Structure 1
Amino acid sequence: MRYAIYFTPPADDPLTIAASRWLGYDAFSGEERSFPENIALPAGRMSAVTAAAARYGFHATMKAPFRLAENISPSALEATFDVFCRNRKPFSIPEITLGKLGKFYALIPAAEYDVLQAFAADVVEHFEPMRAPLLNDEIARRKPETLTETQRENMIRWGYPYVFDEFRFHMTLTGPVTGTDAHVIETEVTDYFAPFIGKPLEIGGLGLFVEERRGAPFTIRRWQPLSGQDDPET
């Protein structure tokens, strides 16, 4: 079993509802969703396009999937998660846009935002004592030969290559987009998420996600609002 700490809006947020339909999967309920009717791509192709992203649910990674350290129980993780959320203030990304990271489409900040970078670093550091070290096969899956030296060091030290200066907030919407219908997919994802582009995105809560067995879809064990009134703890 693995856990992850992800940002996702509340279950009833319009962006969550729209993204769950786009991905064909709702991590809050753990159920599949019908793809939007106004999408030009057939359901089979949509499923192929979104499958890599859908398994994780609609999210932005804060603390990447990890196994619990031997001395940490699930209830201890949940209690720590609840306290963390109660002690952190909500904030908003000033503007989000649609970006392409390699061959993947994602919602990303229009510009780097220091408050967001600091918050992500806070999550990584706070929950690190609860993470078991990576196993050799977990390291191999990350293809360390393709990473920079800093990213490899991050992976060994923090369990994930893309933390701190390497962190880039993104909410993945597709798997790799290639082939003859790549232009159609770009048009569809752009049009579908147009209502959310160019607007702020509130970072108002976090989800504690769980993968019950390797390769299973992630589901949300609990979602907690950020309800702190003071500056985040250091």
Structure 2
Amino acid sequence: MTFTRYAIYFAPPAAADWTQFATSWLGWDLEAARACAHPRVDRVDVAAVTEAPRKYGLHATMKPPFRLRDEQTVEALSEACAQLAATQSPVTLDGLEIARLGRFLALRPLGDDTSLNALGAACVRDLDRFRAPALQAELDRRRANGLSAEQDANLLKWGYPYVMESFRFHITLSGKLDKPTLATVQNALQAQLAPLLPTPFQISDLALMGEAADGRFELIHRYALSG
């Protein structure tokens, strides 16, 4: 299958209870590459609040979506992912919490995230030779949101503003919500998802993802962190 863009994700383990709930919450199973039914939640229109992040599936971005350079191949990218994963150790954190990031909700890690940030930086840096340069329209769109000098430098060098020192690991659970809806949804997730969250929380592999023609992301392969 031909994909329009590729990305490196942390994709939570499919068999975990929290993964299964959060996958159905978003309504897209990136491992099976199919839509799935939302859970029924009192006072929450789950389909509406998850519309924006649905196509990406349940994930944390390690290297943001990019177009493949003309001279590169998916096979070479996959081999580079395997080589990178072989140099990196699994990352263990204290757990996950449901947090507000501006106007949307996400899972954020608890504990010392130094090793996690280093893993994210390695994904961005070591695989960048596969990324086609960002188009001017992409640069303009990112800058329209307002960027710091550091973020703009990241945009020019790495094709995305929120990497390296600006990286914040998160697993998105909603689109942008107004304050009343934000509170209602957070309370619902606190009741239904929070009790399922792992303690400790471990990242044991990286996932190569592909964006299909319909804009939805699918799992291509997982690479165990074995360094």
Same fold at TM > 0.5 = yes
Contact 1:97 1:198 in 2 (8 A): no
Matched AA of 2:209 = F
Greater Cα offset, 83-92 or 216-225 = 83-92
6-15 vs 70-79, which moves further: 6-15
The one-letter amino acid paired with 1:33 is C
Q: Which residue of the partner structure matches residue 174 of structure 1? A: 174
The answer on 1:9 being equivalent to 2:12 is yes
> How far is the alpha carbon of 1:14 from its aligned partner?
2.3
Aligned residue runs from structure 1 range 72-87, under 5 A: 72-87=72-87
SS at match of 1:97: strand
1-structure distance, mates of 2:52, 2:145: 22
SS at match of 2:53: helix
What are the equivalent positions in structure 2 for 1:49-88 lying under 5 Å apart? Answer: 49-88=49-88
Whether 1:97 and 2:97 are equivalent positions in the alignment is: yes
Cα distance in 1, alignment partners of residues 126 and 118 from structure 2: 12
Does the residue aligned with 2:199 lie in a helix, a strand or coil?
coil
Task: Give the conservation status (yes or no) of the 8 Å contact 2:17–2:196.
Answer: no
Measure the CA separation in 2 of the matches of 1:168 and 1:112. Answer: 13
Deviation at 1:59, TM superposition (A): 0.7
Where does structure 1 differ by over 4 angstroms across 4 or more consecutive aligned residues? none
Q: Does the aligned pair in 2 maintain the 1:10–1:223 contact within 8 Å?
A: no
Report what 1:220 is aligned to. Answer: 219
Aligned match of 1:26: 29
Query: Amino acid of the residue matched to residue 40 of structure 1?
Result: D
Partner of 2:107: 107
What TM-score do you get using the length of structure 1 for normalisation? Answer: 0.89
SS in 2 for 1:55: helix
| Cα distance change on mapping 1:14 and 1:227 into 2, 3 Å | farther
Between the two proteins, the alignment pairs up a number of residues equal to 224
Residue of structure 2 in register with 1:231 after alignment: none
2:52 counterpart SS class: helix
Deviation of 1:75 after TM superposition, in Å, equals: 1.0
Gaps of 5+ in 1: 229-234
Aligned-residue Cα RMSD (Å) equals 1.8
Q: Alpha carbons of 1:145 and 1:104: their partners in 2 closer, same or farther (altered >3 Å)? A: closer
Contact 1:95 1:109 in 2 (8 A): yes
